[in-house]
Chain A
Amino acid sequence: DTEVTQTPKHLVMGMTNKKSLKCEQHMGHRAMYWYKQKAKKPPELMFVYSYEKLSINESVPSRFSPECPNSSLLNLHLHALQPEDSALYLCASSHDNPSYNEQFFGPGTRLTVL
Chain B
Amino acid sequence: KQEVTQIPAALSVPEGENLVLNCSFTDSAIYNLQWFRQDPGKGLTSLLLIQSSQREQTSGRLNASLDKSSGRSTLYIAASQPGDSATYLCASPITQGGSEKLVFGKGTKLTVNP
Residues on A lying within 8 angstroms of B by beta carbon are 4, 6, 31, 41-43, 45, 48, 50, 55-56, 58, 88, 90, 92, 94, 96, 98-108, 110
CA of A103 to CA of B45, assembled, Å: 9
CA of A108 to CA of B44, assembled, Å: 9
B107 touches which of A42, A48, A96 (Cβ 8 Å): A42
A65: shortest Cβ distance to chain B, in Å? Answer: 18
A104: shortest Cβ distance to chain B, in Å? Answer: 6
A111: shortest Cβ distance to chain B, in Å? Answer: 12
Establish whether residues B43 and A50, one from each chain, have CB atoms under 8 Å apart when the complex forms.
Answer: no
Establish whether residues A101 and B101, one from each chain, have CB atoms under 8 Å apart when the complex forms.
Answer: no
Contact of B63 with A by CB under 8 A? no
Establish whether residues B99 and A48, one from each chain, have CB atoms under 8 Å apart when the complex forms.
Answer: yes
B94: shortest Cβ distance to chain A, in Å? Answer: 10
Establish whether residues B31 and A43, one from each chain, have CB atoms under 8 Å apart when the complex forms.
Answer: no
Knowing that A43-B102, A50-B99 are A-B contacts, what are 7 other residue pairs whose CB atoms are under 8 Å apart, sorted by A's residue number? A31-B100, A42-B104, A96-B100, A98-B100, A101-B93, A105-B36, A107-B43
A23: shortest Cβ distance to chain B, in Å? Answer: 11
CA of A88 to CA of B42, assembled, Å: 8
Establish whether residues A48 and B104, one from each chain, have CB atoms under 8 Å apart when the complex forms.
Answer: no
A45 touches which of B34, B45, B49, B102 (Cβ 8 Å): B102
Establish whether residues B102 and A31, one from each chain, have CB atoms under 8 Å apart when the complex forms.
Answer: no
17 A–B contacts, CB within 8 A, in A order: A4-B43, A43-B44, A45-B101, A45-B102, A48-B101, A56-B99, A58-B101, A98-B93, A98-B95, A98-B100, A99-B51, A101-B100, A103-B46, A103-B102, A105-B44, A107-B42, A108-B43
Chain B: interface size category: 20 to 34
CA of A55 to CA of B95, assembled, Å: 11
Establish whether residues A106 and B41, one from each chain, have CB atoms under 8 Å apart when the complex forms.
Answer: no
CA of A96 to CA of B31, assembled, Å: 13
Q: Known contacts A50-B98, A56-B99: does B43 contact A102 (CB below 8 Å)?
A: no
Contact of B110 with A by CB under 8 A? no
B44: shortest Cβ distance to chain A, in Å? Answer: 4
Please provide the chain B residues from 19 to 47 with a CB less than 8 Å away from any CB of chain A in the complex.
31-32, 34, 36, 41-46
